[in-house]
Amino acid sequence: AAWEKQVRYSSTPRRPHGFSVLVTGAAGFVGTHCSIALKKRGDGVLGLDNFNSYYDPSLKRARQNLLQKHEIFIIDADINDSDLLSKLFDIVPFTHVLHLAAQAGVRYAMQNPQSYVKSNIAGFVNLLEIAKAADPQPAIVWASSSSVYGLNTQNPFSESHRTDQPASLYAATKKAGEEIAHTYNHIYGLSITGLRFFTVYGPWGRPDMAYFFFTKDILQGKSVNIYRTQDDKEVARDFTYIDDIVKGCLGALDTAEKSTGSSGKKKAPAQLRVYNLGNTSPVSVGKLVAILESLVNVKAKKHVIRMPRNGDVPFTHANVSLAYKDFGYKPTTDLATGLRKFVKWYVGYYGIQPTVKKETGSTDKHPDDS
Ligand code: NAD
Ligand code: UGA
């Protein structure tokens, strides 16, 4: 069928010894950038995404159009669809899976907890079941999250630090993913690498994230809410630029060993790894707003809220020396530089003519507060 042809074409590498990678969540923010980077260097890429409406699906379709220009095909499917996934693995001998499909977002977990369980736990298990049964068994690189460090106050976070105090159900499902990865590695010899991304931002980003809607609200003259910690300190995030994250993902794929398919028999133990991918330089949310204000040349009205929001952690800060040692990961984009690129994309994508305004402010309810 035409569909099968597209699947084969998209996933066939165009360099000697190139990978054939299934990218789940390919219409997502990180998935789009990684898919393009892999394709550009000659790997075969097949995308998969269910195009759910957690945020504006038209943005996901626009990313899909972008991928199409790079001859990357995205299958419209859910990671819980076993039949479809087995069929794909029958057609294509994927060498790697870059598993980015998930229910992301920290605060939406209080509105729709089941969507986190379905995609981040059941969906991940389903994918691992398919991978374990595939021949060859692909190496898996997947997105965990900095949120697994939860209320830990060791600063900066290293991979060996405790992750048993998640502050949100989102974090708990990512932590569960790390434990599930352990069992599939242990029993079935799957090679699995978990990447703990730290608050990723950049062009084609996610509209549910603070930097994105702050930009929108500031440009529209609305006010922004800046939350503080339980003890009334500034909240900080180790905001990490998308290009750095892409390099980290490719580095992890490049150093992923093959699965050994041991299924309990005497073979070499398969690889099981977890890495921080952050920027190593936390910035407060107040500073984030100040940088955006100067980039769009609009002064925002700010509500400082002397309380944390449910599910938020007070700070994140990555120690990335392990990723540096194993695959040379080194973030190179500071927040002001990265946000400049984001704002440039934002005004282009939404066709906004930046205007110079002085003081703004309305008390519109925040989209995230509904
Ligand atoms: P995103 O929401 O833009 O991308 C995820 C994509 O997966 C979406 O396009 C969505 O439609 C798809 N998807 C969701 N559930 C699915 C399912 N059941 N079946 C098929 N497709 C499904 O998010 P992102 O920012 O690109 O994040 C990618 C990954 O990185 C996620 O696993 C996320 O949890 C993780 N992560 C992101 C950040 C960040 O700051 N962006 C930080 C830490 C971890
Ligand atoms: C982000 C992503 O949304 C998660 O998917 C991801 O897993 C996580 O990073 C991670 O690093 O693991 P978060 O850091 O909470 O989560 O990102 P935002 O939602 O963009 O919030 C950033 C900061 O802005 C937070 O400190 C939050 O408290 C603050 N914020 C948010 C405000 O001060 N005001 C708001 O109106 C919204």
| Mean pLDDT of the 83-99 span | 98
For residue 160, what pLDDT is reported? 98
Is the per-residue pLDDT at 268 higher than 90?
Answer: no
ipTM beyond cut 0.85: yes
105 CA → ligand 2 middle, Å? 8
The band of 353, judged by pLDDT with boundaries at 50, 70 and 90, is confident
Catalytic, 227? Answer no
The whole-angstrom separation of Cα 165 and Cα 155 is 15
- Exposure of 86 by Cβ count < 10 A (0-12 exposed, 13-18 middle, 19+ buried)? middle
| Mean pLDDT of the 13-28 span | 98
The band of 366, judged by pLDDT with boundaries at 50, 70 and 90, is very low
Is the per-residue pLDDT at 333 higher than 80?
Answer: yes
For residue 256, what pLDDT is reported? 98
For residue 269, what pLDDT is reported? 87
Least Cα distance to 107 among 162, 169, 61, 158 occurs for: 169
Nearest protein CA to atom 3 of ligand 2, as residue: 105
Bridge partners (DSSP) listed for residue 326 = none
CB 23 less than 6 A from any atom of ligand 1:
no
CA–CA–CA angle 174, 47, 1 (5° rounding): 140
Task: Kindly report the backbone phi and psi dihedral angles of residue 5, in degrees, each rounded to the nearest multiple of 5, phi listed first.
Answer: -60, -45
Residue 251 contacts residue 41 (beta carbons within 8 Å):
no
Domains of the chain (ranges; CATH) run 2-202+240-277 (3.40.50.720), 210-235+281-314+334-369 (3.90.25.10)
Is the per-residue pLDDT at 356 higher than 60?
Answer: no
Report percent pLDDT > 70 for the chain. 94
| Mean pLDDT of the 168-188 span | 98
Is the per-residue pLDDT at 36 higher than 50?
Answer: yes
Average pLDDT of every residue of the chain: 94
Is the per-residue pLDDT at 370 higher than 60?
Answer: no
215 CA → ligand 2 middle, Å? 14
53-90: pLDDT as tens digits: 999 999 999 999 999 999 999 999 999 999 999 999 99
